[in-house]
A and B are shown apart, each in its own frame.
Chain A
Amino acid sequence: MRRLAVVALLALAFPAAAFAHASLQHTGPSYRERLQTAPRRVWLDFDQTVKALPNSIQVYSSRGDVVSLPARNEKNADYVSAQLRRSLPRDAYTVRWHVISSDGHVISGLFTFGVRTPAPPPTEAYGASGPTRTEHVVRWLYFLSLALFVGGIGFRVLVVRGPLPPRAEKRFYALTAIGALATLNVGIAAFVLRAEDALQLPFSRLLYGDLSAIVGGTRFGQAFVAMTLGFALVTALLFLSWLTDRTVFLLPAFLLGLGFASGLSLSGHSAADAGASWKSELADWVHLSAACIWIGGLVQLAVVVLPLAPDLRRSAFLRFSSVATVLVALLIAAGTYLSILRLPHVHDLWTTGYGHVLLVKLGLVALALAWGGIHRLVAVPAVARGGEGLFARLPRSVLGESFAAMAVLLAAAILVDSRPPPRVPAQTELSRKASTFETKTFVSRSTPFFRTEAGP
């Protein structure tokens, strides 16, 4: 009987699926395909009937010229295709499409391909805009939530390993849980905003925008998938630790959290820009991880241990001070390496926009380090000597240091969204003329939006 029930449940667990909205199954050319010969048409294959409009497929050259003819349904109404104007020259092309699904929704998407040249990622397609101020803020919130989440767990693993008093324990889990939920939700918001930049659709149309090209065709999308899944798992481990009162779950949670945070390093400047190598990716990850543990630890110290765990605050403060010294050393070493890599000339600091933001960041870093230095040089010896009176003022001062460090994260968020000055290798005039997409990079970042053109 039990076997029968198990078999029945397994059979029910894998039913055939059918969905209401049309989904794009295949395209020709495929996402980011590099073709040796120019295609004669662009086609889209959906999983069900769709209705094509004359401007359902529009193919743009890297200069913004439309090179496609009006689109139409094929005999099989699952297919939509558009002939191309002429034999396409060597260039990178952007396909923006939208069709009416059988359920009445207008679904839209984009992808890129290259003719004898690499295709750019969809986030750099023709018409895509660069990061906005909202995205700077969202990225900053992402860094903050990561610090609260991974840095908070790191504090328990590296600084206070044993049990905390009940109220402190409750507050520790509350803060890290807020960090976990914020990490997941802000990550989703960041991804949707980036997709909006690429698709250039008004919000109501963006809801039915096809994101598969961005998820599968960009490092950013792949990092989003890995980090979302990873942080959901870390959240589950954090919950198990709270539920069972076993801090043993925190170590794997911390290690996994640090591991999945590398998604940012593997999809950012350190991985994608000229001069990127495993060393730059590693340095970026060390930089980010050290900052998260430092800031998360400061918050835990100021909000959890100092006010709610009087028996532990002396040992925790001294131990955190030692850990923070190592973290700051790592932070500075990795940051210096990355700065030299991205700004090879000192004058880049005051001649480029990226350099300006970096200068602001360095100023804020100096402030945070000075604050930390006072704690290290004044507060630590006093606490070590047994000065209890200091603990009345210390939480506010530690919180102040963490706010200074959070301001550094805001500058870091803007820096990540900015483009470092291009590294110009020694080139002959001939090779410069022959250079392809890399040096012709889309000028579309400054081109007008497509909000009115993309409608059916």
Chain B
Amino acid sequence: MFATGFLVLGLCQFGEAIVGTEVWRRRAWRAYLWPSVFFLMGVLMWPVMTFFTNSTIHMLAHGTWAEVLMIAGATELALVRGKLSSPWWRLMTALAFAVSGSAFLIHEQNGWFFQRSSFLHHAMGWTLFGAAIVLLARCIRPRSVATGSAFALTFVVIAVMLYCDRDLAPVFGHLSPIAGAPHR
């Protein structure tokens, strides 16, 4: 579900980057579309956090994602609505991405090639850090098509990685003897 949310976010961002902000916002609701999805994903992450309690670290990570998604979505909505005016508020979204990336990297204690889930967790963590840097660039050049497209691309990449099974299957061969037999 969250992968689909990220895919929707990515497609919206791509749409805006390709046609330009003025055209994209000719219908007022479009301006609210991706920040609302962002905020809603944050709200919906709380049930995941409370019911996914088979380890403390997962609970804490999902709690962190829920909060940063809500805060980033709320900030973007407030910018669209005019409640906040300084473009530097977008740094809040950059911070949210950096925190989310850190949560992935801290939570994954194995190396990149230990198993598929490790690979995906590292890849997602660094992609989110990349997105945070793109957002920093976007604060400086808000109308740049390149930064807009790069930002959209990170959402699509994250969506694709979230769709992947994060399981015990090997990545580029079974490198760790402790990882156990792949179950598929």
| Chain A contact residues, CB within 8 Å of chain B | 9, 12-21, 23-24, 48-49, 100, 102-105, 107, 181, 184-185, 188, 192, 195, 206-212, 214-215, 224-225, 228-229, 232-233, 235-236, 239, 242-244
Contact = CB atoms under 8 A, between A and B. Distances in A.
Contacts of A233: 43
A48 B110 contact: no
B43 to A, nearest CB: 5
Contacts of A48: 168, 183
Nearest to A101: B180
Contact of B56 (A24, A104, A192): A192
A441 to B, nearest CB: 27
B56 A211 contact: yes
B109 A105 contact: yes
B50 A229 contact: yes
Interface in B78-123: 78, 81, 83, 109-110, 114-115, 117-118, 121
A244 B78 CA distance: 9
A104 B78 contact: no
B146 interface: no
Given A211-B53, A211-B56, A103 B70 contact: no
B166 A188 contact: no
A242 B55 contact: no
23 contacts: A9-B4, A12-B4, A13-B4, A18-B165, A18-B166, A19-B167, A20-B115, A107-B54, A181-B67, A188-B60, A208-B55, A209-B56, A212-B53, A215-B50, A225-B50, A228-B46, A228-B50, A229-B46, A232-B66, A236-B43, A239-B70, A239-B74, A242-B78
A15 B166 CA distance: 12
Nearest to A230: B46
Contacts of B70: 232, 235-236, 239
B63 interface: yes
Interface string B136-152: 00000000000000000
Given A49-B181, A49-B183, A242-B83, A103 B117 contact: yes
Given A103-B110, A228-B46, A239-B74, A16 B56 contact: no
Given A20-B168, A103-B118, A104-B110, A12 B54 contact: no
Interface in B51-82: 51, 53-60, 63, 66-67, 70, 74, 77-78, 81
B178 interface: yes
B1 A14 contact: yes
B3 interface: yes
Contacts of B51: 225
B67 to A, nearest CB: 7
A23 B59 CA distance: 13
A208 B110 CA distance: 14
A181 B71 CA distance: 10
Looking at A14, A236, A242, which has the most chain B CB atoms within 10 Å of its CB? A236
